[in-house]
Amino acid sequence: MLDRRCLLLAGAGLTFAPAAARAARPLGPDHPVVDAFAKAQAFNGVVMLGRAGRPTYARAFGLADIEAGRPAAVDTVYAIASISKWLTAVTVLKLVEAGKLSLDAPISAYLPDYRADTGARITLRRLLSNSSGVPNGFTPAAKADPTLVKARLSTAEALKRFCQGDLVFEPGGRFDYAMTNWVIVLAVVERVTGLPFQAAVREITLGPLGLDALRADDAVAAGPNTAVGYTADTPPVRRPNDRQPYMAAAGGYFGAASDLMKAAHAIFDTGFLSAASQTALRTIEVASDHYALGGRIRTLVVDGKPHPAGWETGNTAGYRSVLGHRFDTRQTVVVLNNTSMSQKTLDLFADTLFGAVTPA
């Protein structure tokens, strides 16, 4: 019998992309809940379940490239969007462990050219939890000049143009999902390491963990195994995915489902991070949004009992993603989509796959 939530989700499906276009050799036995969801939603993407970093079920549905008729496969690469923030936070925590950064020092200690009055009040803890009060100067600037999204600004130029407005609230006062938080973090990482941000993340986090396929460069974005992002309209329309290097910390990375599963296990379950860093990564900083550093911490109610889980999501240019990881059982759910599905729908689906009956 299908889970009740899966049946409730069935009414909001998209109508394009043939459900029959799917990977020929899925990993693991049939999963009736996944199959029912994929059929009801006309789902395009990948679902992967596993434990301790090892997939136990993986299946691809629909198309990675609708115009070309290229089917999705379990190793298809998707933009992971804001899951990139989680990788950024882990990199910062490693730099804290190395004594090069402090979560609670003013950013003016690392960026002496930053605006002095606000730089003395903002910390990495507040930036990594989207609670700094720094205004989002990028969005109004891009609306006034749409060419900005394609402009190859340096980190220093982006920092000066978008990130130094008057604070809109006292740091720590509330949640504000502003990209400018992450441009500042990127600038700090580059300053203390002396490396371009992507190189620093590769050297500090991705390389040591063997996550070589998680990348933020143009080559992977346009690669032959990368899914195309679409609107949810009928017929679907390609969505532009303009990304510049200074945006990488906020949402620039791409990867396959197996990369995310491996990352969740490596970061949450192993000794890669110190005990203090694990505590910081799992401590909710903004209760209203369950937000910690670079991602959310949720409590899943399974069989009437609470179970904490890391909950990373991504939403950009038609790509949608969920990476959920239970801390107690080391179970992981990864859901990737490229047709602008509702993030809430994907979250509820992931809840169902964990056996959680109510979101929390």
- Domain limits of the chain? 4-80+212-354, 84-206
| DSSP summary character for residue 230 | B
The values of phi and psi at residue 42, to 5°, are: 50, 50
Per CATH, the number for 4-80+212-354 is 3.40.710.10
Q: What is the model's pLDDT at position 9?
A: 38
Q: Which helix (H) or strand (E) holds 117?
A: helix 116-119
Contact status, residue 258 vs residue 218, Cβ threshold 8 Å: no
What's the predicted TM-score (pTM) here? 0.92
**Domain at 84-206, CATH homologous superfamily:** DD-peptidase/beta-lactamase superfamily (3.40.710.10)
Contact status, residue 245 vs residue 196, Cβ threshold 8 Å: yes
Q: What is the model's pLDDT at position 233?
A: 83
Pick from 28, 91, 22, 58: which is nearest to 261 by CA? 58
Q: What is the model's pLDDT at position 321?
A: 98
Pick from 80, 135, 89: which is nearest to 273 by CA? 89
Pick from 116, 127, 104: which is nearest to 164 by CA? 116
CA 341 to each of CA 77, 132, 164, 174, 194: distance values in angstroms, whole numbers, following the listed order: 17, 30, 34, 28, 39
What dihedral do alpha carbons 158, 83, 169, 125 form, nearest 10°?
-90
Could you tell me the mean pLDDT of each successive run of 10 residues in the chain, 360 residues long? 38 37 54 94 96 96 96 98 98 98 98 97 98 96 92 96 96 97 98 98 98 94 96 90 95 98 98 98 98 97 96 97 98 98 96 80
